[in-house]
Structure 1
């Protein structure tokens, strides 16, 4: 399963609410979570939703290494592939 940035965005918005940063859709993937206004609690809620929806557990130490939605999508994809192997 290929988990996209759009899917990650949908999960983030559903879990933590819409970003109030005014970042365009094109820039969202590579904008840092700090710049988007998502703090650690929002990311933890997102990780819980990712686990529920995609069956992937993201340990906190890895979750906080992801600085952008694109990096989080790549992390989720890698974890999903590792779990399937």
Structure 2
């Protein structure tokens, strides 16, 4: 069974890496509105990759605008990784 990556996982990783307060229903808020820039997003992707054993291409997060988008990208990579493994 493939482990799923959820909003709780993302919240924890964002707080550990970039800090900030994430409260309420923020899944569809833009990262910009939440105060996270592209560098924070790259760092978050790097942390996720290390923790979950994933490698993301440089362009993996280009179209990611919201936490929900990022969770979907990570879960797609997890499924792909499990299918190869």
- Structure 1-normalised TM-score? 0.86
Paired residues for 1:47-58 under 5 Å: 47-58=45-56
Instruction: Find the aligned partners of 1:62 and 1:51 in 2 and give their Cα distance.
Output: 12
**Cα RMSD, aligned residues only:** 1.3
**Displaced runs of 4+ in structure 1, greater than 3 A?**
none
Higher normalized contact order (CA 8 Å, seq sep 6+, divided by chain length):
2
The residue that corresponds to 1:25 in the other structure is 24
- Structure 2-normalised TM-score? 0.86
Give the gaps of 5 or more residues in structure 2.
none
Q: CA deviation at 1:60?
A: 2.6
Q: Give secondary structure in 2 for the equivalent of 1:72.
A: helix
Q: CA deviation at 1:63?
A: 1.0
Q: CA deviation at 1:58?
A: 2.2
Instruction: Find the aligned partners of 1:16 and 1:36 in 2 and give their Cα distance.
Output: 11
Paired residues for 1:60-79 under 5 Å: 60-79=58-77
